[in-house]
């Protein structure tokens, strides 16, 4: 029988993350939405608490440590992927931009966890890593990356430009995707850990954005930037049979996290909308057919069903990662569904509440602005559906474009 409740071992974590979202994130959410690019200093205390949990063997709520694990006897495992997803849902119930601004919990940290060998994992322990993939000419198609890494003695020399790097201005390390040989296509795409301050690496711009304004988004230029060979994550070999599976493994861990962000935001929108509808005298009755209730109540129930479907898909993808099961299909399904639900639910709630939700009297208008990025980064809606189609039909990227 399938248990749809949160795992018992993580109920304490969920409660703690929710308390952080309620007591720390919500009160400063509007402040840092208005003060774009200003670092939320209040997060330093929270980062120290998360570090303490990880150092003591606990499992935190951020993206810092993800892994694939299996119990010795082959029984079901609920590990770091599940804990990260459950914690992220709660934090993003508070504020997505602030969750993305947590020190040492960046998406680059998840990339290191997914691909690094044991020595690298230990060496980069405690860093705050952003992830740099997108380029002016390579957005949804990661295989179109043109940032070049050329072997030179004991180093690789990087040249290229990365845009839309989340936490790119504040982090201390960046995981950079680059190609060893453009003619070799996807198989030559590798990821490199580049510490901030490395000569030839420059943050040239911080972007102004529609939403998640508490999180900085940077453009980074690499000009003859020398990176030690030992900072290449995974194997340096160009294996055409495996393509860039090592690099893409990162997405199997991070896409459920982004889905979790959308789920947290959608739940926040639904809860606030329920409160406002009930205050206006709209009754939501789950024991009556939707068609026999007010139109607003029926629409609300429909949005709740979409939210629940996205939540369960996301938990499935995280559970599979924890149990060493291939989850690329499920990760893309979760990201596609949750990204769409986050946008549709937040906008739907805005419509149900009406003009009051369009002002800054509530956070509903902010959540609607924040939601759209969750349908875009880590692979757009259209790319996720394309990946799902390829997996289901058994087609390669060249066969189904």
Q: 59, 151, 378, 399: which one is catalytic?
A: 378
Q: How far is CA 265 from CA 85, 259, 372, in A?
A: 13, 10, 11
Structure-token pair, residue 54: 């990880």
Phi, psi of 129 (to 5 degrees): -110, 125
Residues in the chain, total? 401
Gap between the Cα atoms of 375 and 377, Å rounded: 6
Cα–chain-centroid distance for residue 51? Answer: 20
83-119: b or e for each residue (b if 16 or more CB lie within 10 Å)? bbbbbbbbbbbbbbbbbbbbbbbbbbbbbbbbbbeee
Q: Is 378 among the catalytic positions? A: yes
Gap between the Cα atoms of 251 and 143, Å rounded: 14
CA angle 186, 189, 190 (to 5 degrees): 150
Structure-token pair, residue 337: 């569904």
Gap between the Cα atoms of 66 and 330, Å rounded: 17
279-300: b or e for each residue (b if 16 or more CB lie within 10 Å)? eeebebeeeeebeebeebbbbb
Residues forming the active site: 378
């Amino acid at each position: 029988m399938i248990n749809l409740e949160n795992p018992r071992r993580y109920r304490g974590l969920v409660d703690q993350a929710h308390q952080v979202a309620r007591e720390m994130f919500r009160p400063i959410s509007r402040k840092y939405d208005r003060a774009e690019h200003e670092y939320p200093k209040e997060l330093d205390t929270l980062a120290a608490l998360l570090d303490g949990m990880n150092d003591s063997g606990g499992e935190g709520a951020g993206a810092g440590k993800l892994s694939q694990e299996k119990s010795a006897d082959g029984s079901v495992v609920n590990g770091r992927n599940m804990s990260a997803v459950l914690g992220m849902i709660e934090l993003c119930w508070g504020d997505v931009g602030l969750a993305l601004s947590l020190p040492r919990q960046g998406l680059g940290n998840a990339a290191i966890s997914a691909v690094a060998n044991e020595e690298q994992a230990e060496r980069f322990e405690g860093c705050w890593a952003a992830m740099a993939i997108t380029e002016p000419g390579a957005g949804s198609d990661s295989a179109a990356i043109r940032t070049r890494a050329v072997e030179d003695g004991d180093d690789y020399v990087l040249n290229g430009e990365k845009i839309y790097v989340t936490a790119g201005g504040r982090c201390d390390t960046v995981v950079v995707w680059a190609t060893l040989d453009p003619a070799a296509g996807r198989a030559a795409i590798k990821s490199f850990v580049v510490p901030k301050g490395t000569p030839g690496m420059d943050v040239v711009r911080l972007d102004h954005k529609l939403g998640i304004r508490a999180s900085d988004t940077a453009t980074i230029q690499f000009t003859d930037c020398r990176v030690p060979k030992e900072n290449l994550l995974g194997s340096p070999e160009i294996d055409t049979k495996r393509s860039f599976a090592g690099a893409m493994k990162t997405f199997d861990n991070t896409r459920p996290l982004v889905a979790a962000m959308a789920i947290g935001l959608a739940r926040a929108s639904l809860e606030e909308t329920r409160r406002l509808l009930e205050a206006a005298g709209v009754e939501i009755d789950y024991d009556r057919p939707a068609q026999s209730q007010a139109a607003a109540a029926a629409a609300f129930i429909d949005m709740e069903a979409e939210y629940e479907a996205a939540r369960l898909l996301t938990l499935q993808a995280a559970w599979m990662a924890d149990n060493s099961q291939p989850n690329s299909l499920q990760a893309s399904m979760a990201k596609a569904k949750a990204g769409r639900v986050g946008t549709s639910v937040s906008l739907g709630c805005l419509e149900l509440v009406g003009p009051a939700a369009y002002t800054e009297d509530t956070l509903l208008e902010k959540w609607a602005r924040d939601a759209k990025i969750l349908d875009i980064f880590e692979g757009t809606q259209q790319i996720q559906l394309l990946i799902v189609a390829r997996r289901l039909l058994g087609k390669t990227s060249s066969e189904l474009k």
